Amino acid sequence: MNALIINCSPVRTGATAEIVRIISEALSERFQTKSICIADFDFAFCTGCRSCHRTAECVLHDDVPVIMQEFDRADLIVSVSPSYWADIPGQFKAFIDRCTPWSNTHEPHLSLRSGKKGCTVALRTGQNPQECERIIRSIEHFYGHLEIAPYGSLSLCSVEQKADVAPRKQEILAFCEQICSQIF
């Protein structure tokens, strides 16, 4: 089974990247893992032309299908997102907007291989977990329209930078153990 772990932050070496690294290592006991960072791909904003609502194809040609190939290979997708102004980073939102050809809200639409599960990890500097829950809801909404079954989430508050992740390692590993013990 394949697991795709996504760094939804544009920072390749920050707190989110460190959490991605820990999750990838822990899941590698059960999965073939692959990690990607949203900043490694080049894609434009959705222009809202709605052409894909009729054709299931985007008029723009860039890296979005490359990311979606990674989604398609995966049985488990883990999105790890920091809070940027109480929401997902703009780069990840721009990617989600460009996934409209895959959204089940209109016909025709493209489809990923069925049976996928999706986990979400949200992190933030502040202490109130409600902000993490909002991020989790956004990503699970996205999973829903791609018919990826939401499969658990983790909120990590009080994380500002990479050094803040080490004291939270056990929480992250417990979350991974839960995924590995229950999945499929």
Ligand X SMILES: Cc1cc2nc3c(=O)[nH]c(=O)nc-3n(C[C@H](O)[C@H](O)[C@H](O)COP(=O)(O)O)c2cc1C
- Which residues contact ligand X by CB under 6 A? 9, 11, 14-17, 82-86, 123-126, 131, 159-160
Of 18 and 101, CB closest to ligand X:
18
Q: Which helix (H) or strand (E) holds 15?
A: helix 15-27
**For residue 121, what are its two tokens?**
């990890």
Q: How far apart (Å, rounded) are the C-alpha atoms in residues 136 and 164? A: 20
Of 137 and 145, CB closest to ligand X:
137
Considering the complex, what minimum distance in angstroms separates the CB of residue 123 from ligand X?
5
Of 4 and 20, CB closest to ligand X:
20
Q: How far apart (Å, rounded) are the C-alpha atoms in residues 115 and 65? A: 20
Of 81 and 100, CB closest to ligand X:
81
Considering the complex, what minimum distance in angstroms separates the CB of residue 15 from ligand X?
4
Residue 34: how many other CB atoms lie within 10 Å: 14
Q: How far apart (Å, rounded) are the C-alpha atoms in residues 50 and 54? A: 7
Q: How far apart (Å, rounded) are the C-alpha atoms in residues 96 and 118? A: 14
Considering the complex, what minimum distance in angstroms separates the CB of residue 84 from ligand X?
4
Considering the complex, what minimum distance in angstroms separates the CB of residue 79 from ligand X?
13
Residue nearest to ligand X (CB): 14
